[in-house]
Structure formats: structure tokens, C-alpha cells
Chains A and B, each alone.
Chain A
Amino acid sequence: MESSSGSITQFYNCLVLKDHNLVKDYLYVQDGKIIDPAKMFWEEKRTPDVRIDCKGGIVAPGYIDVQINGAFGYDFSNDTDIIEEAVENISKGLLLQGCTAYCPTTVSSRPEVYHKVLPHLGPRKGSIENGAAVLGAHIEGPFISPQKKGAHELATLRTAKNGLSDFDECYGLENLRKYAAYVTMAPEVEGITDTISALIKETGISIASGHSNATTAQADEAFKKGANMITHLFNAMHPFHQRDPGIIGLLGASDSRPFYGIICDGIHVHPHSVMIAYYAHPNGACLVTDAMSAQSLPDGFYKLGEMDVDVHGGHVYIKGTNTIAGSIATLAECVRKFIKFTGASKVEALENATLHPAQMLGISDKKGTLTHGADADILILNQDLDVQRVFIAGVEATSNNVRFKQKL
């Protein structure tokens, strides 16, 4: 019988998100992991050392944001010279907002940018010292469609007519292997669909379709080859047409369907569109912020990659245009808005920001769940889903023990 020594914490007086339900139960944590309390009691003959009163609140896994370009004044694609400082401060700031794990996201950039920043965006454990866990980079572009480039810079876009070597030249395959969680690309761009399988095999990363004008047939082919995600559904893609619903059409497939990111800030996607996606494929929804550097900062002019953007009244536009360029939402806001827009249950909304993104990245044994053995990244929320308390690796994060700065 193994015995353990670390202090055991019990969360009580709470509804625990467990097996797709909110259950009146307890949650037990030891050495940064969620533990099986029956084993603790019967085999180790132990009881909790510390008890935390959740005051009738909801205990949920920490939020996971798989698409965020920046926050607190920092930008992963633009702050290449101070990238470590950016990662540190964003990780800490997000943690205090209840986002305990994320994929730092880069916009389409030149190869030298990738070679410079990717080594700093690789997986990193979540802790009080590190802030939110980094799950590896989400590299958005530059193998995307010029017609659906959104706020990405046209000059950086590329094709992959030479297959793997184009990816190697752009990102460095070794960088993908070590530092990336997934890459967003457009299936119809030359060379992409033919290279997806090899790229996955070679690097182990995941592939999302997005910033794409793909027809449903093209999107489906890419999906069958392994592109099992859609990046910010509805935004920067072929609009829904009855004879060719584009990438969106994958949600109507009768067999397997991809996970999809959706920006539920009330600006990027009409509430009714959120509702349609939810009805079409409730178990595939992953709420993402697609936040940029001005998240949590006052209105003004900021950078997104190397482009100037104008932030006012919750909207972000490329300066002088009406092209929206990322959000300034927090994931906690997106979860609440999802319920408002769809009437979904709290469980569904929470799982869209926890379980589903973890499943999409294949890490749902450790993240996005409160199952035994998972990382003790935990939120205590009130019934309105406002974040009350945040725990990372079993330790409570507060503004006293997690200090970060903003870049103004």
C-alpha cells in the first residue's frame, strides 16, 4: 500500500462539476492533484487536514483558453524581444481571472518571428510561481486563405506546395514538436490537405481548419486526414450557404464532427449563431476569447502582431477599418454569455470552457476535469458563475501571492 504525506485539502459546502452534473459533494486535493477520498480513508486511514468552505458555490475545473493572442498590454506575436516577460505576466493575469491553462496564440508572422518566439511558448506547468499552465502554442497561420485573412497581415501568408519542408522553413518542425499544441491552417491553400497527415505524424501536433474559404468537401477531406478542430467558428470562413455550407457544414455531419472554437463575446458571433452551433454540436463547443493585448486595459490604440488596432467600447478594429481584430473578453465572461445566448445549463457552459478544450487537445485526463488524478486547477464560482476563488496545482492564487504587471 502506498502512503502519502502531503497535506490533504477538502472543499465542502459546494456543488461539484462531476460526470456532467453538479453534485452536492466534496472535492479532495493532495500534492497538486485531485485524489480519491475513499482510497485516502480506507487505505491510508487519513482525513482532510484543511477544509475550505465553498459557501454553497460551484466547484469547477479551471478554465482553458485555446486561443488568446495577448492581454494586459502584451502580445505574443509582437513582443518578441520581451517574450518571456509577456508569457509570465499574461500567465499570472489570466490565472487570477480563472483561466488556469491556455494556448498562447500567434497571428500570421514571418519565419524569424516563429523561430524567436515559439521556444518561449512551449508547455509549462501551472503554479503560483508560473501562473496559468501553458499548453503549447496555438499557431494561427500563415498557411491561411488571403480571402479570409481577417486581421492577419497579407504579406506574411504562405502556401505549402513543397509539403513538409515549407512548414519546416516557416516554423521549424522541431519547434512544432516541442512547443506547439496546434496549428490553424486553411485546407484549400496549396499543399495543405496533402500534408496534414504527414505533419501530424512527424510532429504530434493537432490541426485546426480556419481562416479559410474551404468548401464543405475540402473541409471534410482535411477533417478525415486529421484536422479535427475548427478555429473560431463562423469568423473568417466561407459563410453558410445551403448548397455549400463551407467549414461550418462539418457541424451537420451525421457521423463524427470536429471540436470548434467559438468567440462568445457577443460581438464576433451573433447570439443566434452561437445558438445554432450549440444545437448542431453541443459536445464540440470550446469557448475561446481570441483576446488581444488590450484585454483588461483601457480603450485606446494597441498592437496586434504588427498591425495597429483601435479598442473602444468592447470592440477591437484594425485602425481605420471595420475589420474586427480579436476581442478583449475574458473566458469567464464568455461562459456567462453562452448561457445567456443559448439557455444552456451551467454544466454545459462550464464544460465548454473546461472539458471540451481539454478533450480537443487530448489532455482530458489531467485538465478540464475534476476526476481523480487530474491537476488540481479549480475554480469556486457563485451561482451566477462569477469566479470567487482560483486554485492552481492545489494552491489558492490571490492578488497577494500572484503579482504581475501590465504593459501600458
Chain B
Amino acid sequence: MRLVIRNDADTVADYIAEYIKERINQFKPTAERPFVIGLPTGSSPIGVYKRLVRLCNEGKLSFKNVVSFNMDEYVGLPRDHPESYHSFMWNHLFKHIDIPPENVNILNGNAEDLQAECERYESKIQSYGGIELFMGGIGPDGHIAFNEPGSSLQSRTRVKTLAYETIIANARFFGGDVSKVPKLALTVGVGTVMDAREVVVIITGANKAIALAKCIEEGVNHMWTVSAIQTHPRSLVVCDDDATLELHVKTVRYFKSIEQVQDEMIGRENLGLYGQVAGPLKYKNIPSGN
């Protein structure tokens, strides 16, 4: 797992947007071989979406050959409800970019047979050969998608009952009325996210600090479902300084030092996207001394 620490939410969004742009462009997607991306909703990704839109308008990025799968959707909320995740994705991303509508996948929370809808979703992901990069945010309780604490780390796409805390937290989007918040959602499972060839998680703000510490400093635990990324072969967590408040100083310094050492000794220009050294390992400044 890589942990990249930036000063604030804006620079975190800069980093991730740039990263995703590079990943898509280096992938050189075509209609036959599209780049398959998993996408979240919520407050964390808004800044990233803004930047992806800007990159798209500047002609530096195209979603023409990108296929997207969203993480989750409420059950029973009309598609055109302002708080539906369809509306969220339309307003923050899809209406601004060149993604073909047929490439966009979001779970249908109004399907007659919800179970069948979840199975259809999983097999559609499989039909594209799986997800190349899954981007996610987390809740203060460390949940990824609607995989609330206690969710199986092997879980697949399914109907999920929302935790009481999530309902209270989301009431602000429904006029402060807890009774109006949908109690069920369809969500990809932790297993579905972890099957992606790469997982990128955005964690910003002091209110996510405990979750970040639980997820990366303690064991893999279904009460903090994002902790599953510890066993993922290619995962990246990008957080801001505020989110590191509950981490050990040692942890923060270690991950900061990785970037620092790379910068000083190898040079950022010699590093690949995953932090690997591109080409033969050459030191930029060999420490002198006898």
C-alpha cells in the first residue's frame, strides 16, 4: 500500500486527478479495450471530478473509451431525485464530459428484482474483464461504498441495510428528516472493490482521522472495511494532513520520507506512476562521504 500525504483537500484532489488522467492516458484505451473505472459519490470525490472535468475541457483527457461502474445507489429513490447517486454523477461528472451514456453503469435501486440487479452488475463488470482502477472515499467509520462496519470483506454486490449513523449523517441531504432517508441501498461488495487491479482511496479531513488510523495501522478488520486494502497488491491512499491526526508520528514520517527520498535520490521524473523506478536504477545525488 502506498500512502501519499498532501497539505489539504485541494492538493489531494490535484494529485488524484492527475494520477487518474495519467493512468487513463498511459492505458491508451480504445473502444475494444476500454479503461474500466470504479467511481464513488459523496463529498470526497467532488474536487477530483471538478479537476477531471477541467482536464476534459482542456482536451488533456477523454472519457470516450472509458467504462464506469459506480459503487452504490439508494433503493427506492427516483432516479431524478436530487439526492440520488444518478443525479450526483450527472451533475458532478457525466454532463460535463464526453463519456458515452452506454458506457456508464450505476446500480438501479428501483429494479423490480434487486437481487437480480446486483448479479447483473457483477457479471457486467466481469464482461469487461474486471475493473482497472477503483476510486473510493470512506466514511468516518471506515466504510467503503455502503459496506458498513461488520460487512464481510469477501462481500459482492448486494442489497445492504444502512447503518443508523449513516442514515443520521445523510439526513442533511433530505431536509434534516431522518424518516426521508432511504434505509436500503445497493452496493458493490468489499470483494468487488478489492478485485479491481488497482484501488485508490481519498481520505481527507479531521473527521476521517480515526478511520485512517484504524485502516492502515491496525489489522484487517471487518469493522473498518477499508482496512481490506492492506492485502491488495496495488493500492494507493491519498490523504491530507488533517486526516493524519490520529496516525503515529512514525507512520506519517515514514510515508513522507518515501516521497522525499525518491525526490532527492531518484528524481520524480524518473519515477513511474506506481512509484517504481523507470529504467535502470540511477541515483541522482549519491551521498558523498568516506
Which chain A residues have a beta carbon within 8 Å of chain B's beta carbons?
Answer: 26, 36-39, 41-42, 44-47
Q: Is the CB of A26 within 8 A of B101?
A: no
Q: Is the interface of A mostly helix, strand, loop or mixed?
A: mixed
Q: Is the CB of B80 within 8 A of A41?
A: no
Q: Is the CB of B80 within 8 A of A39?
A: yes
Chain B positions within 8 Å of A44 at CB level: 101
Chain B positions within 8 Å of A26 at CB level: 95
For the complex formed, measure the closest distance between the CB of B233 and the CB atoms of chain A, giving whole angstroms: 35
Q: Is the CB of B79 within 8 A of A42?
A: yes
In the bound complex, how far is the Cα of B101 from the Cα of A46, in angstroms?
Answer: 7
In the bound complex, how far is the Cα of B106 from the Cα of A45, in angstroms?
Answer: 13
Q: Is the CB of B87 within 8 A of A41?
A: no
Q: Is the CB of B101 within 8 A of A47?
A: yes
Chain B positions within 8 Å of A46 at CB level: 101
Q: Is the CB of B86 within 8 A of A42?
A: yes
Q: Is the CB of A38 within 8 A of B87?
A: yes
**Chain B, residue nearest A45 (CB):** B101
In the bound complex, how far is the Cα of B104 from the Cα of A275, in angstroms?
Answer: 51
Chain A positions within 8 Å of B15 at CB level: none
Q: Is B275 an interface residue (CB 8 A)?
A: no
From known contacts A37-B95, A38-B90, infer whether A45 and B79 are also in contact, taking CB-CB under 8 Å: no
Of the A-B pairs whose beta carbons lie under 8 Å apart in the complex, a sample of 28, sorted by A's number, is: A26-B95, A36-B80, A37-B90, A37-B95, A38-B79, A38-B80, A38-B86, A38-B87, A38-B90, A38-B95, A39-B80, A41-B90, A41-B94, A41-B95, A41-B101, A41-B104, A42-B79, A42-B86, A42-B90, A42-B101, A44-B101, A45-B100, A45-B101, A45-B102, A46-B101, A47-B98, A47-B100, A47-B101
In the bound complex, how far is the Cα of B104 from the Cα of A41, in angstroms?
Answer: 10
Q: Which of A26, A37, A38, A45 has the most CB of B within 10 A?
A: A38
Chain A positions within 8 Å of B79 at CB level: 38, 42
CB contacts under 8 Å to A, within B67-124, are 79-80, 86-87, 90, 94-95, 98, 100-102, 104
Q: Is the interface of B mostly helix, strand, loop or mixed?
A: helix
For the complex formed, measure the closest distance between the CB of A39 and the CB atoms of chain B, giving whole angstroms: 7
For chain B, give the interface size range: 10 to 19
Which chain B residues have a beta carbon within 8 Å of chain A's beta carbons?
Answer: 79-80, 86-87, 90, 94-95, 98, 100-102, 104
For the complex formed, measure the closest distance between the CB of B36 and the CB atoms of chain A, giving whole angstroms: 18
For the complex formed, measure the closest distance between the CB of B27 and the CB atoms of chain A, giving whole angstroms: 23
In the bound complex, how far is the Cα of B80 from the Cα of A38, in angstroms?
Answer: 8
For the complex formed, measure the closest distance between the CB of A391 and the CB atoms of chain B, giving whole angstroms: 21
In the bound complex, how far is the Cα of B87 from the Cα of A46, in angstroms?
Answer: 16
In the bound complex, how far is the Cα of B106 from the Cα of A38, in angstroms?
Answer: 14
Chain A positions within 8 Å of B90 at CB level: 37-38, 41-42
For the complex formed, measure the closest distance between the CB of B112 and the CB atoms of chain A, giving whole angstroms: 15
**Chain A, residue nearest B91 (CB):** A38
Chain A positions within 8 Å of B104 at CB level: 41
For the complex formed, measure the closest distance between the CB of A47 and the CB atoms of chain B, giving whole angstroms: 7
Q: Which of B80, B87, B95, B98 has the most CB of A within 10 A?
A: B95
Chain B positions within 8 Å of A37 at CB level: 90, 95
In the bound complex, how far is the Cα of B86 from the Cα of A41, in angstroms?
Answer: 11
Q: Which of A36, A44, A46, A47 has the most CB of B within 10 A?
A: A47
Chain A positions within 8 Å of B101 at CB level: 41-42, 44-47
**Chain B, residue nearest A26 (CB):** B95
Chain A positions within 8 Å of B86 at CB level: 38, 42
In the bound complex, how far is the Cα of B230 from the Cα of A371, in angstroms?
Answer: 49
For the complex formed, measure the closest distance between the CB of A406 and the CB atoms of chain B, giving whole angstroms: 44
In the bound complex, how far is the Cα of B100 from the Cα of A42, in angstroms?
Answer: 11
For the complex formed, measure the closest distance between the CB of A91 and the CB atoms of chain B, giving whole angstroms: 35
Chain B positions within 8 Å of A41 at CB level: 90, 94-95, 101, 104
Chain B positions within 8 Å of A38 at CB level: 79-80, 86-87, 90, 95
**Chain B, residue nearest A44 (CB):** B101
In the bound complex, how far is the Cα of B79 from the Cα of A41, in angstroms?
Answer: 12
Chain B positions within 8 Å of A42 at CB level: 79, 86, 90, 101
**Chain B, residue nearest A38 (CB):** B90
For the complex formed, measure the closest distance between the CB of A370 and the CB atoms of chain B, giving whole angstroms: 16
In the bound complex, how far is the Cα of B82 from the Cα of A38, in angstroms?
Answer: 11
For the complex formed, measure the closest distance between the CB of A298 and the CB atoms of chain B, giving whole angstroms: 47
For the complex formed, measure the closest distance between the CB of A28 and the CB atoms of chain B, giving whole angstroms: 9
In the bound complex, how far is the Cα of B94 from the Cα of A47, in angstroms?
Answer: 10
**Chain B, residue nearest A10 (CB):** B95
Chain A positions within 8 Å of B102 at CB level: 45
Chain A positions within 8 Å of B100 at CB level: 45, 47
Chain A positions within 8 Å of B98 at CB level: 47
Chain B positions within 8 Å of A36 at CB level: 80
